[in-house]
Chain A
Amino acid sequence: MTDDDRSPVSSQETTTALVQRKLSWEELLGLMRAPKEESRFAETLVALQQLVDWDEQILLPLGENLFIVAKDGKAIVKTKAGAELGPWNGNWKMHCRVIVRRTREDFLRIYPEEHLTIDPDLVEIREFLCPVSGTLLDVDCVPPTFPVEVDFTPDLATFYTEWLGRDLPVAL
Chain B
Amino acid sequence: MTSEKPTLLEQLNRCEQLFEETGHYQGLTELPNLEADPLQFESFHSRLLSTIISTRETMKYIASSPAVRDFEEFVIGLYTPEGDAIALSSGIMVHVHTLSEFIKFMIKNGYEDNPKIRPGDIFENNEVWAGGVHTPDVMTVIPVFHGDELIAWVGAVTHELEAGTYEGPGMSVLTPDRYGEGLHISAEKVGEDDHFRHDYMLRLRMGLRNANWWILDDKAKLSGCLMVRDALTAIVDEFGLDYYQQATKELIEEGRREFLKRVRTTMVPGTYRGLTMPVHKRSHVPFVHPLAKNDFIDLVRQEMTVTGEGRIELDYEGSTGWSFHPFNCAPGPMNGGFWITLTQLLNYDGRVNDGAYLAVKQYLPEGSIVNANYQGVATSLAWWTLIPIFANVWRLMGISWYARGFTEEILMSTPTCMVGVTGFDQFGGPTGYNNFEMAGESFGARGVADGMDCGSPIWNSEGIQGDAEVWELTGPNAYLGRSFVPDHQGYGRFRGGSGWQSLWMVRNSDVVNVTLSGSGCMNGGVFHKGLFGGYPPAGWKCLWATGTNVADLIARGEKLPSSLEEAERMLLDGTITADDWYCGPDNQWSPNLREGDLFGVLYYGGAGYGDPLDRETSAIEKDLANGLMTTEGARTAYAFAGTDPDTDAERDRRRQARLAESVSAAEWWEAERVRAAAGEVSDMVHHTFARSAKLSDVLVAQYKAFWQLDEFPYTETGEPNFSAPAPVGFYYPTSSSRPRPDAAS
List residues of chain A with CB under 8 Å of any chain B CB. 15, 18-19, 21, 23, 25, 28, 31-32, 36, 38, 40-41, 43-45, 60-66, 93-100, 107, 109-112, 114-119, 121-123, 125, 127-129, 131, 133-156, 158-159, 162-163
Contact = CB atoms under 8 A, between A and B. Distances in A.
A158 to B, nearest CB: 4
Interface string B404-428: 1111110000000000000000000
Interface in B696-729: 702-703, 705-707
A155 B28 CA distance: 30
A28 B274 CA distance: 28
A21 B526 contact: no
B498 to A, nearest CB: 12
B228 interface: no
Interface in B521-570: 523-526, 528-541, 565
B270 A117 contact: no
B406 A40 contact: yes
A110 B270 contact: no
B532 A150 contact: no
Contact of B540 (A40, A95, A117, A129): A117
B524 A117 contact: yes
8 contacts: A18-B405, A32-B409, A63-B533, A65-B532, A100-B668, A139-B534, A141-B529, A151-B274
A10 to B, nearest CB: 15
Given A63-B533, A131-B664, A149-B702, 20 more contacts: A36-B406, A44-B405, A61-B402, A62-B399, A64-B610, A64-B614, A97-B662, A98-B663, A107-B538, A112-B538, A112-B636, A137-B611, A141-B528, A141-B529, A142-B277, A143-B681, A145-B672, A145-B685, A146-B275, A162-B308
B536 A147 contact: no
B85 to A, nearest CB: 24
A19 B534 CA distance: 18
Given A18-B407, A19-B407, A143 B277 contact: yes
B270 A99 contact: no
A163 B262 CA distance: 12
B539 A115 contact: yes
A93 B524 CA distance: 26
Contacts of A148: 665, 706
Interface stretch (B431-439, B456-464, B642-650, B653-661): B653-661
Main secondary structure of the interface of A (DSSP, over half): mixed
Given A100-B668, A129-B662, A159 B523 contact: no
Contacts of B657: 134
A166 to B, nearest CB: 13
B349 to A, nearest CB: 10
B618 interface: no
Nearest to B310: A163
B592 interface: no
Contacts of B669: 94
Contacts of A116: 538-539
Given A60-B403, A64-B532, A145 B270 contact: no
B636 A28 contact: no
Interface in B488-520: 488, 491, 493
Interface of B: 262, 264-266, 268-275, 277, 279, 297, 299, 306, 308, 396, 399-400, 402-409, 448-449, 485, 487-488, 491, 493, 523-526, 528-541, 565, 584-585, 609-614, 630, 632-633, 636-637, 654-659, 661-666, 668-669, 672, 675-676, 679-682, 684-685, 688-689, 702-703, 705-707
A99 B666 CA distance: 12
A143 B526 CA distance: 10
Given A18-B407, A40-B405, A145-B679, A159 B537 contact: no
Contacts of B672: 100, 145
Most buried by B among A45, A60, A145: A145
A129 B659 contact: yes
Contacts of A45: 405
A21 to B, nearest CB: 6
Given A139-B529, A144-B681, A145-B672, A110 B524 contact: no
Nearest to A148: B706
A119 B703 CA distance: 23
Contacts of B277: 122-123, 142-143
Nearest to A38: B265
Contact of B297 (A28, A38, A143): A143
Contact of A63 (B524, B532, B664, B665): B532
A122 B684 contact: yes
Main secondary structure of the interface of B (DSSP, over half): mixed
Nearest to B633: A112
A65 B612 CA distance: 13
Contacts of B400: 152
A67 to B, nearest CB: 10
A137 B531 CA distance: 9
A166 B454 CA distance: 43
Given A18-B407, A138-B532, A151-B396, A159 B268 contact: yes
A117 B665 contact: no
A70 B272 CA distance: 22
B269 A163 contact: yes
Nearest to B673: A145
Contact of B682 (A38, A122, A137): A122
Nearest to A142: B275
Nearest to B677: A145
B681 to A, nearest CB: 5
Contact of B270 (A19, A119, A138, A152): A152
A122 B279 contact: yes
Nearest to B632: A112
Nearest to A39: B405
Given A32-B408, A154-B268, A114 B565 contact: yes
Contacts of B406: 36, 40
Given A38-B265, A141-B526, A121 B682 contact: yes
A107 to B, nearest CB: 8
Contacts of A129: 658-659, 662
B269 A98 contact: no
A14 to B, nearest CB: 11
A39 B630 CA distance: 43
A119 B279 contact: yes
A119 B524 contact: yes
A15 B448 CA distance: 13
A100 to B, nearest CB: 6
A112 B533 contact: no
B533 A137 contact: yes
Nearest to B299: A143
Nearest to B675: A145
A154 B611 contact: no
A86 to B, nearest CB: 11
Given A40-B405, A111-B538, A128-B665, A60 B658 contact: no
Given A44-B405, A110-B637, A65 B611 contact: yes
Contact of B666 (A18, A38, A94, A152): A94
Contacts of A131: 659, 664
A31 B408 contact: yes
Nearest to B269: A155
B299 A158 contact: no
Given A98-B664, A151-B273, A36 B539 contact: no
A159 B24 CA distance: 24
A154 B305 CA distance: 10
Contacts of B663: 97-99
Contacts of A136: 533, 611-613, 658
Nearest to A154: B270
Given A63-B532, A115-B488, A143 B665 contact: no
Nearest to A21: B448
A143 B679 CA distance: 12
